[in-house]
Structure 1
Amino acid sequence: MSKTLVIVESPTKAKTIRGFLPRGFQVNASMGHVRDLPNSASEIPASHKGEPWAKLGVNTADQFQRLYVVPKEKKKVVRELKDALKTADQLLLATDEDREGESISWHLLELLKPKVPVKRLVFHEITQEAIDRALAQPRHLDQNLVQAQEARRVLDRLVGYTLSPLLWKKVAYGLSAGRVQSVAVRLLVQRERSRLAFRSGSYWDLKAQLEHQQQAFEARLTHVAGTRIATGADFDQNTGAVKAGLKVRLLEEQDARALEEATARQPWQVTQVQAKPTIRRPVAPFTTSTLQQEANRKLRLPARQTMRTAQSLYENGFITYMRTDSVHLSEQAVAAARHCVAETFGADYLSPKPRRYATKSRNAQEAHEAIRPAGERFRTPRETGLDGVELSLYELIWMRTVACQMADARLTMLTAQLEVGEARFRATGKRIDFAGFFRAYVEGSDDPGAALESREVLLPTLKEGDRPGCRSVEAVDHQTQPPARFSEAALVQRLEAEGVGRPSTYASIISTVCDRGYAQLEANALIPTFTAFAVTALLEEHFPDLVDTGFTARMEGTLDKISQGQVQWLPYLKQFYCGEKGLEAEVSHQEQSIDSATFRTVALEQLPCVVRIGKFGAYLEADHDGQNVKANLPPDMTPADLSPERVRELYQNKLAGPEALGVDPETGESVYLLTGQYGPY
């Protein structure tokens, strides 16, 4: 009996696929990538130890030949795959259908060197129907996809291994730079700089609680004596004052208190009423980035956990492939979603015609469908038997997919203008006339103050000339707020909008930035560290292209063109790295002019000192009573935490000396509490 060997990436995927294959098929897992460029000198084979390029792993002088090695932990896996292949009559490579999956298949071919026929199986969901279609329509390995992934891997290695040693010399040992990582860090630093430069402004307004026909409603002051009052949007972030040239009235507390008293005892009158019908349409089904954003907003899941959970759902046959930038749904998927709408919500909630969505992200690839429940019939969340985070994420995907085939929501936006004395107020409301897709899904927001679209804000029935009663008027003080820090969701959204990164990289970008000490995640906000400030300043000054979103997006665009066969990968790598204007020459040239002291120093305008990046972390330095004093900063302290008061406290603690805890009973010597490189001791 003939035997076919099928190779996939993971044991879970292997187990699921095995259930859909006939007898005579053996499914083995490669456990991900089976080889990579060397990560340390110990991984370099003896045959290449003397090569000057071996540590880089790429021979840039000879057609960018790569030195691939099998990691120690993968040798057993490779051996087992070779043994399984010895008794096989055919090899089917069923790795994921993206560039990375194509690359894994290529590496397997290079290692296993099969002497039997080889075919490539591709599918974007693990169901009986999908596996049957893949078996009926195998294809050859796509060399364009392989070359695009090889180019990406080489570019990442060239940037990382060329710039990181420079950072070790000029800033601090152990730092790293990355082709996409450094761009993401710069976005965080730019936002934090804006926050540090921000100057808060103060303004007042009035909030009135009114009543008409025994129904309470709220109104806000908008004008006084015909002039609009200033709101937060009218302030200059850098001065804290109202922007020049604006014809607005800035209410001080005294003005607000006087108006509060006057409007509370004067008669109110409705002068204008507007009711504007509005339609809301459902958003597209999930891509990788929108799934990460919504899972972060609604489930508070980090991007890495979202992808880990989504991968488990995919490999167990619950959802389609989770790395995609396409919002396309197949005809079968549209039919399945529409069936769910009719079954769950009723025919009235079904959109009159099937909805089609077009992908709008820059450089998007339509290689897959959107992320949706697997199969030609979608299992409801209850039918899956899932629990915990897997159930929550599946339910999110199910709801979003079903909602995209539901009817529009119909709303009426209500606005009433009221006058009292010389003051004009506005009351706003929202009436949901038909909930439509709101019954299933409402997209989240990164603004914590934003109300959900599906939430009604009702006003009483008002008409011009009505005189509502006034329950109370309150003067309210406001302080303008600095730009919000990036959450994981907001950073993924920004990276996608800029065309930086791809579905397979968003989660790893964020985890790398945090793992390498460039940002801390606090209360779902990414806060850059002093090291991030120092490294970003150096790269902006000497290698601006490498932290420019436009430049990085164009690189991603070129990789896309390589994957489509429109650009040759080797000439592109040569252009990027070699020659007078290449990265290698640029780093060599710039190294001579980079002053270490300058980029080891982070000066913050509001502080009476400077922060320096040292061998064991950041520390303060300033002149105190004629002497130079240095004080170490706690490892988790960021520029956002450092105020003039905190600086004084750190210096006082330094000058006071270490804290004595007591006396050692055996030696009689004092025992002190100190803080070192790795924390208190």
Structure 2
Amino acid sequence: MSQSLIIVESPAKARTLQKYLGKNFTVKASVGHIIDLPVKTLGVDIANDFAPQYVTIRGKGKIISDLKSAAEKADQIYLAPDPDREGEAIAHHIAEFLQSKHKPIRRVLFHELTKKAILAAIDQASEVNQQRFEAQQTRRILDRLVGYQISPLLWDKVRRGLSAGRVQSVAVRMVCEREQAIEAFVSEEYWSIHTTLEGKTPPPFVAQLDQAYGKKIDLKKNKIGTDAEAQAIVEAVRDASFLVESLEKKKKKRNPSPPFITSTMQMDANRKLRFSAKKTMTLAQKLYEGIELGAEGPTGLITYMRTDSTRISNDALEEAREYITGAFGKQFLPAKANIFKTSKSAQDAHEAIRPTDVRNTPEKLAPFLEKDMLALYSLIWKRFLACQMAPAEYDQTTITLVAAQNFVFKTVGSIMRFPGFMALYEEAVDEPGDGAEGENAALPDLKKSDTVSLLAIEPKQHFTQPPPRYTEATLVKALEENGVGRPSTYASILSTIQEKEYALLVQRKFMPTDLGKLVNELLVTHFPDILDIEFTASMEEKLDEVEAGNTQWLKVLRDFYGPFSKTLDAAKEEMKSVKKTAIPTELPCPLCAGKMVIKWGKNGEFLACENYPECKHTQDFTRNDEGKIVPVNREQPAESGELCEKCGKSMIFKNGRYGKFLACSGYPTCKNIRATTTGVPCPEAGCTGELIQKISKRGKVFYSCSQYPKCTFALWDKPINQPCPQCGSAYLLERETKKGGRQLHCPNKECGYTKKIGEEE
């Protein structure tokens, strides 16, 4: 019997597929991309038609060998990474490694991981989509050309470690420009007039002034601007009779929102669950790839989560309608399935984000999903079912009243007649306002020309508000509306601008840092096209054209790079260094009469005295919930209890670039330093060194021999100077995992000894 090999990018996805496919299929995972552009160099041969210079990703050599070995044993090969551009690139690169004249290599697109969908996708296997791969590669090269050529310029002019990005820098610009609008905003006073009225029958109700002297109250053209104006109106109507001029009754409907696409899922998860876009996508990826459901094994619970299409398959529509009828009743089911329009730029090969089986209710899955994953699944499940339910129906009554001939008051009341989809789900809003007073209040039974009594009148003072800062939800919405980035990039954009310290979240809203403002100003000045929102959106459209086969990828790169290279050359000459630039603050220096200023060093922002070099005081700082600077006192170096072998003074603990170390307290007279030791002798035969703690260039703690480079022995797990009680090994290792917590285990693999820390022997 023939044997088939399926290659996916995720081990979790591989486990789910293997459950459904059986013994005739071997499922292997590439664990993401196997090759990429090099980390330390540009990796693009500009002179040779922008040829990408791919290298094997570190640690992927063994995976490639395993895939080749599995391919040799298979009769046919299916490449099934995710059904998007990144997945197409992974498939393309794997196909190049596995090239075979005798075995067919086919591309499979899994939009959901159910048995029916998996078998159907294998039956519909096709070729690797060259145009989709070229669109991904073009984006990758564009991002590399921008990022790897502008970033070094920022290192030179501002500080090392900064980065610029074709899309990320536009997002920073949007955050900065919103902050500029807030800072430039001049608040204006205005007043509103509210009355409490009562007819012949209860209940009392509230009406608000809508017109005065024949003109509608309007913030721009006709506002009540002062207390005196408000009091004049109050006095004019205080003793007047209020006459019902008109009653307008309307039957209204509210339709459900479309099913989730990537952006709307990120927005609603941020509003309702307070999840970051990155967290939402991480959880959604796990739900798509498969979760262990007890005896059922790994099961894919949602469709593919990177999509901009609201399309729903006919099978899913039928399942939803059947479930709604059974769970809610026929009155909650519209006569026909609700069909939603998809944007022109959407890739309609995908479906919307939905549960793979509506019978997997949140209650049913609760024992198998951790809290946050269950919350996101519940959101997706409810949104999908709600989108196929009947609209909500309510009666809306608008009452218009006249007082003292010159003043018109209005009130609106709504009564829900049928909840429809709102019985299950209601979309969250970005900035909840005060709402119209009486919007959902009960109103008395009134008729035209009825007279009502004034119980109370109250003028209320207000001030116009600046535009709000972006939340994660509203920034994703703005990026989408402006065509900046694509569904697959929003989460990484929002994470990057925070990681690079260009913006921070203050009370869940983005505020640009001083560094972000400075870098944005430099980039907008010297790279106006790259930072232009419309230009960035047009590049996204060109990438779509490449995927559609309507334009050549090389043409896109050539058209972009000509003008960009000239702008880059000019910026290298004209951009001024701001390394010595300091941002003033009102904080006093604790050592002199000067003020503290914000400067940048290799470890980020810090406070320094403006009187440097006369005063050398520096201080770390954080920001509070309002974004204001809060100085942080540095910890005093801790005594180690050891003496310096060179001068006899005490040794103290200090933190450096590569971790904690011992330094002489006599610095700078004595510059003796030592690494902190674990007390565990190096286990390498013949070595007299000890294992010491270090930190890698990527910030990860590891332990290596003090005799390096003479001895290269190293460990990731922390060595503990304690013999193994089972095999007598001279030391144990400490490790922490999500499932097992903190554990001690023996370095001898044949021993297998483990013990939870804190557990009795």
Q: Which residue type is aligned with residue 512 of structure 2?
A: P
Please say if 1:18 is aligned against 2:18. Answer: yes
The separation in 1 between residues aligned to 2:111 and 2:595, in whole angstroms, is 56
Alignment correspondent of 2:203? 215
Alignment correspondent of 2:757? none
Alignment correspondent of 2:145? 158
Alignment correspondent of 1:593? 574
Q: Which residue type is aligned with residue 180 of structure 2?
A: R
Please say if 1:521 is aligned against 2:505. Answer: yes
Alignment correspondent of 1:182? 169
Q: Deviations over 1:509-561 (max 9, x none)?
A: 10111111111112221111111111111111111111111101111111111
Q: Which residue type is aligned with residue 27 of structure 1?
A: V
- Give the Å deviation of 1:280: 2.1
SS of the residue corresponding to residue 81 of structure 2 reads: coil
- Give the Å deviation of 1:10: 1.1
The separation in 2 between residues aligned to 1:120 and 1:336, in whole angstroms, is 29
Alignment correspondent of 2:472? 488
The separation in 2 between residues aligned to 1:598 and 1:263, in whole angstroms, is 64
The separation in 2 between residues aligned to 1:257 and 1:631, in whole angstroms, is 56
Q: Deviations over 1:15-66 (max 9, x none)?
A: 11111103221111111112211113xxxxxxxxxxxxxx111111112222
Q: Confirm or deny: 8 A CA contact 2:7 2:78 kept in the other structure.
A: yes
SS of the residue corresponding to residue 545 of structure 1 reads: coil
Please say if 1:477 is aligned against 2:461. Answer: yes
Alignment correspondent of 2:347? 365
The separation in 1 between residues aligned to 2:88 and 2:420, in whole angstroms, is 41
- Give the Å deviation of 1:428: 1.6
Alignment correspondent of 1:276? 250
Alignment correspondent of 1:239? none
Q: Which residue type is aligned with residue 10 of structure 2?
A: S
Q: Which residue type is aligned with residue 338 of structure 2?
A: R
Q: Confirm or deny: 8 A CA contact 1:195 1:483 kept in the other structure.
A: yes
Q: Which residue type is aligned with residue 104 of structure 1?
A: I
Alignment correspondent of 1:394? 377
Q: Confirm or deny: 8 A CA contact 2:608 2:619 kept in the other structure.
A: no
SS of the residue corresponding to residue 7 of structure 1 reads: strand
Deviates more, 1:206-215 or 1:1-10: 206-215
**C-alpha distance 661-93 of structure 1, shift in aligned 2 (>3 A):** closer
The separation in 2 between residues aligned to 1:573 and 1:483, in whole angstroms, is 37
The separation in 2 between residues aligned to 1:639 and 1:529, in whole angstroms, is 14
Normalising by structure 1, we get a TM-score of 0.83
- Give the Å deviation of 1:68: 1.9
Q: Confirm or deny: 8 A CA contact 1:289 1:496 kept in the other structure.
A: yes
Aligned residue among 432, 454, 464 for 2:448: 464
Aligned residue among 98, 101, 118 for 2:84: 98
- Give the Å deviation of 1:444: 1.7
Q: Deviations over 1:569-592 (max 9, x none)?
A: 122212222x4x2x2332112211
Q: Confirm or deny: 8 A CA contact 1:527 1:638 kept in the other structure.
A: no
**C-alpha distance 660-136 of structure 1, shift in aligned 2 (>3 A):** closer
Q: State how many pairs are aligned.
A: 623
Q: Which residue type is aligned with residue 191 of structure 2?
A: W
> Tell me, which stretches of 5 or more residues in structure 2 are unaligned?
291-299, 586-593, 642-648, 650-654, 659-761
The separation in 2 between residues aligned to 1:189 and 1:601, in whole angstroms, is 19
Q: Which residue type is aligned with residue 70 of structure 1?
A: T
The separation in 1 between residues aligned to 2:288 and 2:193, in whole angstroms, is 53
The separation in 2 between residues aligned to 1:481 and 1:631, in whole angstroms, is 40
Please say if 1:298 is aligned against 2:272. Answer: yes
Aligned residue among 68, 75, 92 for 2:61: 75
The separation in 1 between residues aligned to 2:580 and 2:270, in whole angstroms, is 34
Alignment correspondent of 2:308? 325
The separation in 2 between residues aligned to 1:599 and 1:449, in whole angstroms, is 44
SS of the residue corresponding to residue 468 of structure 1 reads: strand
Q: Which residue type is aligned with residue 429 of structure 1?
A: G
Aligned residue among 192, 195, 203 for 2:190: 203
SS of the residue corresponding to residue 574 of structure 2 reads: coil
Q: Which residue type is aligned with residue 46 of structure 2?
A: T
The separation in 2 between residues aligned to 1:206 and 1:619, in whole angstroms, is 50
Aligned residue runs from structure 1 range 360-439, under 5 A: 360=343, 363-375=345-357, 378-385=359-366, 386-387=368-369, 388-421=371-404, 423-439=407-423
- Give the Å deviation of 1:631: 8.5
The separation in 2 between residues aligned to 1:263 and 1:75, in whole angstroms, is 84
Deviates more, 1:495-504 or 1:585-594: 585-594
> Tell me, which stretches of 5 or more residues in structure 1 are unaligned?
41-54, 235-245, 670-674
Q: Which residue type is aligned with residue 299 of structure 1?
A: L
SS of the residue corresponding to residue 353 of structure 2 reads: coil
Alignment correspondent of 2:532? 548
Aligned residue among 440, 444, 447 for 2:431: 447
- Give the Å deviation of 1:261: 6.2
The separation in 2 between residues aligned to 1:576 and 1:69, in whole angstroms, is 25
Alignment correspondent of 2:263? 289
- Give the Å deviation of 1:450: 6.3
Q: Confirm or deny: 8 A CA contact 1:270 1:465 kept in the other structure.
A: yes
Deviates more, 1:13-22 or 1:220-229: 220-229
Q: Confirm or deny: 8 A CA contact 1:5 1:84 kept in the other structure.
A: yes
**C-alpha distance 661-397 of structure 1, shift in aligned 2 (>3 A):** closer
**C-alpha distance 494-660 of structure 1, shift in aligned 2 (>3 A):** closer
The separation in 2 between residues aligned to 1:218 and 1:631, in whole angstroms, is 61
The separation in 2 between residues aligned to 1:424 and 1:598, in whole angstroms, is 62
Aligned residue among 135, 139, 147 for 1:148: 135
Please say if 1:353 is aligned against 2:340. Answer: no
Deviates more, 1:410-419 or 1:169-178: 410-419
- Give the Å deviation of 1:227: 4.2
**C-alpha distance 269-609 of structure 1, shift in aligned 2 (>3 A):** farther
Please tell me whether Structure 1 or Structure 2 has the larger radius of gyration of its CA atoms.
Answer: 2
The separation in 2 between residues aligned to 1:189 and 1:34, in whole angstroms, is 37
**C-alpha distance 103-660 of structure 1, shift in aligned 2 (>3 A):** closer
Q: Confirm or deny: 8 A CA contact 1:203 1:230 kept in the other structure.
A: no
Aligned residue runs from structure 1 range 524-535, under 5 A: 524-535=508-519
The separation in 1 between residues aligned to 2:383 and 2:5, in whole angstroms, is 37
**C-alpha distance 660-442 of structure 1, shift in aligned 2 (>3 A):** closer
Q: Which residue type is aligned with residue 64 of structure 2?
A: V
Aligned residue runs from structure 1 range 28-107, under 5 A: 28-40=28-40, 55-107=41-93
- Structure with greater proportional helix content: 1
Q: Confirm or deny: 8 A CA contact 2:507 2:625 kept in the other structure.
A: no
Deviates more, 1:26-35 or 1:204-213: 204-213
The separation in 1 between residues aligned to 2:596 and 2:153, in whole angstroms, is 23
**C-alpha distance 393-519 of structure 1, shift in aligned 2 (>3 A):** same
